[in-house]
Amino acid sequence: MRNFVLQALDVATKITKWLAILAAVCIGVMMVVNFTDIMGTKFFLRSVPGALDISEELMVLVTLLPLAFIALERGHIRITLLTEHMTSAARFVLQIIQYVIATLISAFITWRVFVGFQGTVEVMDLKEGLNLPIWPANLAIVIAFGFLTLVWALLLAKTVLVGQER
């Protein structure tokens, strides 16, 4: 079981790294779209149609896709003011509680966003402006939170099976 969890964490790390790279590419695309829009407006008095809409949709990918990778790499902010004064056993129990809560919260969010995603696919909601479908952004949110839930569950399993991290 221990080897399975560690291998699953390795696979999750590779996948989430690619999600983070995709988010970085989206930042580049946003930069090109906005630069082209500004230059077109300034020099040719023509803006890129839907530049704001495109940026809004890409912002969903930029903000949410790297979440699971950040969780795996411990890139989030940690406040250790209280935990540094606890015993090792207390920190271990607290870490398990943290992972359980994080897994439950992200699983709930994943479920609710998936329900919303199903609704947008059924009625094919369109974003006003360019009439872009809303479902791709909702699918990205489902994927991002789905991987985040998986990562929290794997980190919980690793902590229980292997022990406390440093």
Q: Give the confidence band of 4 by pLDDT, cuts at 50, 70, 90.
A: very high
User: Above 60 in pLDDT, residue 23?
Assistant: yes
For 42-95, how does the pLDDT look when each residue is reduced to its tens digit (9 = 90+)?
999 898 888 888 898 899 999 999 999 999 988 777 777 787 888 889 989 999
pTM for the structure as a whole: 0.86
Flag whether pLDDT at 1 surpasses 90. Answer: no
Q: How far apart are CA 62 and CA 54, in angstroms?
A: 12
Least confident of 28-42, 62-76, 100-114: 62-76
Torsion of CA 12, 15, 16, 22, to 10 degrees: 180
Each residue's pLDDT tens digit, 123-157: 988 887 778 888 998 999 999 999 999 999 999 99
Residues 7-21 have a mean pLDDT of: 94
pLDDT of residue 165: 61
Report pLDDT for 75: 76
Smallest CA-to-CA distance from 23 within 165, 147, 131 is with 147
